[in-house]
Structure 1
C-alpha cells in the first residue's frame, strides 16, 4: 500500500509540473502565432515586387519612416525586430524545455516504434526549426544587416538587391527549400497552437483546425516562393 505521506507530495509535484508544461505550451503557441502574423506581413511586402521597382522601393522606404515623428527613423522596424527576438527566444526556450520534459518522462525508448497518427510534418519540427533559424540568419545577412549583393551590384536599392539575389540559381534553390521547410513547420505549428488554445475539442473543430493549418502553410510558403520563381523566369526583372 502506498504511503500517503510520500504520495501526496508527489501528486502535488506532478500537478505543478503539469501546470508548468501547459504554461510552456501556451507561451510557445502565442509566440508562434506572433511569427505567423509577421511572416504574413513580410510576404505581403515581398509581393510588392510584382508592382515594379518604384512601388517596391516606396514600400521599403515607408517601413523605415513608419511612426515618425513620434519614433526615430527606422524606430518601428527596431521595435518590431526586438519583439521578434523576444518571441524567438521564448519559442525556442519553451520547445527545448518541453522536449527535455518529454525525454525525462520517457527515459527508455520504445522497442517498437508505432505510428501515432500525428501530422507528418511533426517529425520535421526539430530539425526543420533549426534549418529555418539558420536560413533566417543567412537571409538577414543577405537582405537586412549585411546587405550582400551576390553579383557585386549596389545594395542600397531594395528592388535591385532582391532581383540580383534571386538571379543566382543556388540562392533561389536555398530559398525555395527553406520555404518548403517553413511550410512544413507552419503546418504542424499552427495545428499545435490551435490545439493548445483549445480549438480542437470536437471532431469538427479538429478537422477545421487541420484545414486552417494546411491553408496557412500553403499560403505563406507559396506566397514567399512566387517572387524568386518570378525572378528566375524573367517575370520580375
Structure 2
C-alpha cells in the first residue's frame, strides 16, 4: 500500500493494470468476432461464458478492480502533474509528443463513460427491446445474444457511439503501449519509434475488430 502513495508506484500500477486491460480487450474482441460465424457462434460463446458460473464473477470482479485502479490513478496523476505546473508556459514546445499522448485523460474518461453505457446495454440489457423474447429465443433458456447485437446496431445512434468510442480506444491503446514500456524502463530514443509503430498496429487491429461488427451489421452483411 505504501508503494501506491508514491508517484512511481502509481505509475507502475497504471502500467500493469493497463496491460491487463489490453489483454482483456484482445480476448473480448476475439469473442465478439464470433458473431461472423452466425447465431450459433456468438450464442455458443455467450453460453460458454455463462457456464463458467462463479468463475465468471471472479473474473468480472478482478477486472472491475483493475479498471477502477487504472482510472483512479490516471486521474490522480493527471491532477498532480497539472498542480505541479499551475502556470502555463509562455512558450510551450512539445519536442516528443503526439495527439494520443496529449489527450490520454480525455480519451480515458470518455472510454469510462462508454464502458458504463456498454455494460448497461449489452450485459444488463437496459433499453433492450423484447428482453423476455430474446431470453427464450435461443435453446429455450439462454439469451439470444446474436439477435440482441444485430438489433441494437440497427440503430444509427448506437453505431455512431460505438465507432467513436473505438476511435478513441485506438489513440488510448496506441500511446498506452509505449507508455507501459517506458514506465518499466524498457524504452529509449532508439527503440521508441519501433514501440510507437507496434502500439499503433496493436491498437489498429483491436479497433478495426470492434468497429467491423456494427459497421457490417449497419450495411446489412451481418443480419437476422
- With structure 2 as the length reference, what TM-score do the two structures score? 0.88
Q: Displaced runs of 4+ in structure 1, greater than 3 A?
A: 150-153
Alpha-carbon separation, structure 2, partners of 1:101 and 1:176: 32
Tell me the C-alpha RMSD between the 2 structures: 2.0
Decide which structure has the larger Cα Rg and report it.
Answer: 1
1:106 to 66, 70, 85: 85
What residue number does 1:166 align with?
153
CA contact (8 A) 2:10 2:73 kept: yes
- CA 44–147 in structure 1, closer or farther in 2 if over 3 Å, else same: farther
1:77 aligns with 2:63: no
CA contact (8 A) 1:199 1:206 kept: no
**Deviation per CA, 1:197-227, whole angstroms, max 9, x where unpaired?**
1221350x21221111101110111110111
Residues 151 and 117 of structure 1: is their aligned pair in 2 closer, same or farther, counting only changes over 3 Å?
A: farther
The answer to whether structure 1 residue 142 and structure 2 residue 129 are counterparts is: no
Q: Which residue of 2 aligns with 1:92?
A: 71
User: For each residue in 1:68-109, what CA deviation from the matched residue of structure 2 results, as whole angstroms up to 9, or x when unmatched?
Assistant: xxxxx2x22211111111111211222122123212322222
Tell me the CA shift for residue 64 of structure 1. Answer: 1.2
Q: Which residue of 2 aligns with 1:224?
A: 210
Trace 1:190-209 onto structure 2 (pairs within 5 A). 190-203=177-190, 205-209=191-195
Unaligned runs of 5+ in 2: 136-142
Structure 1, unpaired ranges of 5+ = 1-15, 67-72
Q: Partner of 1:115: helix, strand, or coil? A: coil
CA deviations over 1:102-154 (Å, ceiling 9, x no partner): 12322222122323321221122111111111111111111102353257763
From the superposition, tell whether residues 150 and 186 of structure 1 become closer, same or farther in structure 2 (CA, over 3 Å).
Answer: farther
Contact between 1:57 and 1:157, CA under 8 Å: does it hold in 2? Answer: yes
Within 5 Å, which residues of 2 pair with 1:53-64? 53-64=39-50
Aligned length: 213
Query: CA–CA distance in 1 between the matches of 2:157 and 2:72?
Result: 32
Q: Distance in 2 between matches of 1:150 and 1:110?
A: 52
TM-score normalized by the length of structure 1: 0.84
**In the TM superposition, what whole-angstrom CA distance separates every residue of 1:23-54 from its partner, at most 9, and x where no partner exists?**
11110000011110001000001100000101
CA distances 1:138-192 after superposition (whole Å, capped 9, x unpaired):
1111110235325776353111000000111111111000100111111111111
